[in-house]
Structure 1
Amino acid sequence: MDKTKENSTGTLGKALEVLNIVASSPVPLRFTDVLKLSDQPRGTLHRQISNLIEEGLLTMNRDHSYGLGLRLLQFASRAWSSNEFRTIAEPHLQTLHEQTGETVHLGVLRGIEVIYLDKVESRQSVRMYSQIGNTAPVYCTGVGKAALSALSDEELNARIGLIEFRRFTAGTLPDAKALLKEIDHIRMEGNAYDREEHETDICCVAAPIYSHNRHFVAGISVTGPAYRITPEILTSWAGITRAAAAAIMANMATQLSPRA
């Protein structure tokens, strides 16, 4: 390998490591925090962070902790706006929103979390607060449980083994046994529910989206306040949520299939 290319790759890898550490932390990190989580020497890490701040990829907060820079948001926005999957999914998100009047999310699996990629906001006067780019635990969200149901038993058990079950609400599943039991139901029904399991008074129904070879791609969900969405309404929306996922999969099969 060319030495210059090798050094460049190493530098890039170190920079990505720093970005990942900052992005993955639930709380803002200072230099000493990043140093503990990184295997880079102090001097190298200091140069990496300085370069990332100069390039707008990191920002320093008033308390000297780090946050992701606006330039990353620009990159993410451009990548997502030009993404073929987004183009395919977007009209179906809009249709599901029009059918229900509630907030529709599109999310993907990342480790033992889901990250929300797209959203169509509710047209109701009282809306739920959520942001594109936010993450949530897999075991107490509709999209998360739909994603888990799409995994092989081996991969499912491996991921569940990494979960530290925290009770967010009285309805949160307490342990792996309860989650596995629910996964069995989701696999039979083709959709998942969040019945006030992550946030009190918020519920949703979700369905998985697969690729042509049955690999999980994303999950689509309808979410809203429990006082407006009764259990009966939520159950009735399961079918149209599955239909939206199926429509996205059908479009993927024709538009993203390999061309001769």
Structure 2
Amino acid sequence: MSQTVDRALSILPLLAEGPADLGQVADRLGVHKSTALRLLRTLHEHGLVYRQSDQRYRLGARLFALAQQAVENLDVREIAHPHLVRLNEECGHTVHLAVYEENEVLYIDKVDSRYPVRMYSRIGKPVAITVAAVAKLLLADLPEPERRAVVDRLDYPHYTARSTPNAAAYLRELATVREQGWASDLGGHEESINCVAAPVRGADGRVVAAMSVSAPNVVVTADELLTLLPLVRRTADAITREYSGNTPAKDAV
């Protein structure tokens, strides 16, 4: 880590103890006041610290907002994980949990299949956003202007003959997903892999995450996997109830 970044980050735990003036910050860091002022100004520009009317500095609102966002994402994973494990134990297939973050859909949890054939997917890895069932659920819930803007700027790789071909087709599919309350990927990314997914909602009813069950054709057919949809939706609803305290509206996305 560079010395400048290290010093800047050292300011945050200092201010967590309470407001401090420039001299106190400089003394704690062991630097000249001019150096401390440059660091504080940079943090101030990003909303991470705030200068009070008495010229002392405190932690900024932006920092609390980022912390709250991080906690919310962590909470949904922690709450969901036992449910994902139980679903995996019941059906035996790979179970994923994903979120939409900074124009990407990322896996934040995974429980592997009990079968010898395993899916190549990793926690923290972006999904194939134009075909993945979890991505369809997360994008379908975006406000329409944002949804159209995101869809229009995506590329549409031809993974298989069943891949989404273009933006117009994707918008139609997302409209269907919104209406039916679930999503699937039946060979759109890999011809041999099928997937069904359901949404997890926050207290405001918005989709905060999506969970899915995936399996290769050599284990179950697409039709057989689709029979698990009620179980997948019940699991997603159970996570929603625990995460938000709300009972999910039937068939709503």
Superposition TM-score, scaled by structure 2 size: 0.68
Q: Are 1:221 and 2:215 counterparts?
A: no
SS at structure 2 position matched to 1:83: helix
Asked whether the 8 Å contact 1:102–1:222 carries over to 2, the reply is yes
Match of 2:170 in 1: 179
Match of 2:95 in 1: 104
Counterpart among 83, 88, 97 of residue 92 in structure 1: 83
Residue 141 (structure 1) shift: 0.4
Amino acid at match of 1:145: K
Amino acid at match of 1:10: T
Match of 2:191 in 1: 200
Asked whether the 8 Å contact 2:104–2:126 carries over to 1, the reply is yes
Residue 214 (structure 1) shift: 2.0
Q: Are 1:149 and 2:140 counterparts?
A: yes
Residue 246 (structure 1) shift: 0.7
Distance 2:37 2:134 in 1: 40
Asked whether the 8 Å contact 1:112–1:137 carries over to 2, the reply is no
Amino acid at match of 2:96: H
Residue 125 (structure 1) shift: 1.6
Q: Are 1:251 and 2:234 counterparts?
A: no
User: Which protein has the larger Cα radius of gyration, Structure 1 or Structure 2?
Assistant: 2
Residue 12 (structure 1) shift: 11
Matches within 5 A, 1:67-82: none
Amino acid at match of 1:188: E
Distance 2:104 2:225 in 1: 23
Distance 1:12 1:105 in 2: 38
Output one character per residue of 1:44-90: Cα deviation in whole Å (capped at 9) or x when no partner.
xxxxxxxxxxxxxxxxxxxxxxxxxxxxxxxxxxx89x933222111
Residue 216 (structure 1) shift: 2.2
SS at structure 2 position matched to 1:133: coil
Note the residue ranges of structure 1 that are not aligned, 5 or more in a row: 15-78, 256-260
Distance 2:38 2:238 in 1: 45
Asked whether the 8 Å contact 1:112–1:163 carries over to 2, the reply is no
Q: Are 1:120 and 2:111 counterparts?
A: yes
Say which is worse superposed, 215-224 or 108-117, in terms of deviation. 108-117
Match of 2:153 in 1: 162
Amino acid at match of 1:7: L
Distance 1:197 1:183 in 2: 15
Identity %: 35
RMSD of the TM alignment (CA)? 2.7
Residue 13 (structure 1) shift: 9.2
Residue 6 (structure 1) shift: 5.2
Output one character per residue of 1:27-54: Cα deviation in whole Å (capped at 9) or x when no partner.
xxxxxxxxxxxxxxxxxxxxxxxxxxxx
Output one character per residue of 1:186-243: Cα deviation in whole Å (capped at 9) or x when no partner.
1222111111111231111111111111222111000111232212212211111111
Say which is worse superposed, 168-177 or 226-235, in terms of deviation. 226-235
Output one character per residue of 1:156-196: Cα deviation in whole Å (capped at 9) or x when no partner.
11111110111111111101111111112212221111111
Say which is worse superposed, 148-157 or 99-108, in terms of deviation. 148-157
CA gap 1:118/1:12 in 2 versus in 1, 3 angstroms: farther
Distance 1:146 1:250 in 2: 18
Distance 1:206 1:148 in 2: 13
Distance 1:163 1:83 in 2: 27
Superposition TM-score, scaled by structure 1 size: 0.66
Distance 1:199 1:244 in 2: 25
Q: Are 1:210 and 2:201 counterparts?
A: yes
Match of 1:83 in 2: 74
Note the residue ranges of structure 2 that are not aligned, 5 or more in a row: 1-20, 23-33, 47-69, 247-253
Asked whether the 8 Å contact 1:112–1:138 carries over to 2, the reply is no
Q: How many residues align?
A: 190
Distance 1:239 1:154 in 2: 31
